Amino acid sequence: QLPREVFLAFAAKSLRTPWRVKIGPFWACLWNAFKASTSSRSTRKSLAKSKVLPPHRDRRNLRKAVDEVRKFAKEIIKEKKQLLNEKSEIDSFDLLSRFLSSGHSDEEFVTDIVVSFILAGRDTTSAALVWFFWLVSNHPDVEKEILREIHEKSEAPIFEEVKDMVYTHASLSESMRLYPPVPIDGKESTVDDVLPDGTFVKKGTSVVYHPYAMGRSEKIWGEDWSEFKPERWLERDHDAAGGEGKCNFVGRDPYAYPVFQAGPRVCLGKDMAFLQMKRVVAGVLRQFRVVPAFEDGKGPVYVTVLTARMDGGFPVRIERRA
């Protein structure tokens, strides 16, 4: 039987949403909020010099979409509270259960937490995984090494095993160097400031940085910047006799690799994102081979909204490993 062609998509469900919540409409609201936010941002820039912003359709749409997102988030919280009240002890280790069980009773605060984790983690993690599988499927040597590492662990790897998957960690870091989930980002100065090189930054100035361009900079990554090389993130130990030992992951300066931002504003979910992605990679590649299935030999098209996506999704054939 020929493998069935599917579109590969990922959505990290770290909150373990109760089954009674209608998750389809929730994701639809999230997508509407993303679109409205992007449109509203453009409108604000064009009207930035106005002392009073007039009512605008995009702003109304954004408020409506945000209200719907928060409504669904509160429904998730309500369902989770009911489940926790029905049980004498917690048998779930998801984030929402932990927050509610630790005594956080402020509904607005918990709602903010739920929305923040979904917005910050869902699209970025799924975008990163799609580009990762595209790159790995085109580099069999990398896939072979990842598989070797996966088979050294149990079928359902525990935290310590996942943490020890250094080659997979390096491969994910390398794929996000070439295809960062957030390709462009920026900050706004709240006070007058001076950068380390002496550049004066006036209060209210927008400072934009470009992780996509930085990840492809020869000045930062060398002449082989275009190559997908997980090894650039690894360093091997040597014993007293000069023999090779265990590989260790070697992180880069976050200001040269700002995929997770840097400094005081570094992404709080970075470690959780890597944990989720490595678990997904181990679960998929242990059992299946992911084969690109673009029509007529066409490759992927890189598009950006708020996150970097593959235009039209990633069409693949899923082949079960022998």
Q: Which residues are annotated as a binding site for heme?
A: 267
How many residues belong to the chain?
Answer: 322
Q: Cα(43)–Cα(56) distance, rounded to whole angstroms?
A: 9
Q: Cα(267)–Cα(182) distance, rounded to whole angstroms?
A: 12
On whether the CB atoms of residues 188 and 207 are closer than 8 A, the answer is: yes
Q: Cα(177)–Cα(255) distance, rounded to whole angstroms?
A: 13
Give me the amino acid identity at 26.
Answer: F
Q: Cα(281)–Cα(284) distance, rounded to whole angstroms?
A: 5
Q: Cα(193)–Cα(291) distance, rounded to whole angstroms?
A: 50
Q: Cα(181)–Cα(204) distance, rounded to whole angstroms?
A: 26
Buried b (16+ CB within 10 A) or exposed e, 3-14: eeeeebebebeb
Distant-in-sequence, close-in-space partners of 163: CB < 8 Å, separation ≥ 6: 275
Distant-in-sequence, close-in-space partners of 36: CB < 8 Å, separation ≥ 6: 58, 61, 62, 64, 65
Q: Cα(119)–Cα(96) distance, rounded to whole angstroms?
A: 15
SS3 content of the chain, % helix, strand, coil (to 5): 50, 15, 35
Q: Cα(120)–Cα(113) distance, rounded to whole angstroms?
A: 10
